[in-house]
Amino acid sequence: MLGILRSRPASDSEHIERISKTIEFWDRWRTTILLVFLILIVGMFGFLGWFANFVVGLPPNNALGININKIYLAIAFGFGVTFGLHLHSIMGYVISSAVGGYRSERMLIKLYAESKVKSNPS
């Protein structure tokens, strides 16, 4: 993120170093991040079931006897769907990065290392 705010563009070696650190981070934390997201997904579905039961079970709360709680449930469901779609896109990005991501970056690092060896034969 701070790379965007730099006054001068990064050199090739600095760029490769930054990519290498990112890949090392994902390699080190891959299992933990996937486990956390799995727990979050299971918790989200559990909470959705509990919340639906809770709202449907509320008694009518107005003078006409109309159970407006079902209206609230529909509104909450709409918000939940919107939140879920956003959460899904974030999880998709993180999981794809953690599982099989950075393939092109790994290839870039490999090609950069090979070009360094070719340009400086010892």
Each residue's pLDDT tens digit, 46-105:
877 887 787 777 666 666 666 677 777 788 788 888 888 877 877 777 777 666 677 888
pLDDT recorded at residue 24: 87
* CB contact set of 109 (below 8 Å; sequence gap of 6+): 16, 19, 20, 23
The percent of residues above 70 in pLDDT, for the chain, comes to 77
The answer for 102, left when phi > 0, alpha when psi is -120 to 50, beta otherwise, is left
- How far apart, in whole angstroms, are the C-alpha atoms of residue 102 and residue 104? 6
Span 10-48, pLDDT tens digits: 788 888 888 889 888 888 887 887 787 778 777 877 877
Mean pLDDT over each residue of the chain, to the nearest integer: 77
Indicate whether this model's pTM tops 0.75.
no
pLDDT recorded at residue 2: 56
pLDDT recorded at residue 122: 62
- How far apart, in whole angstroms, are the C-alpha atoms of residue 93 and residue 37? 12
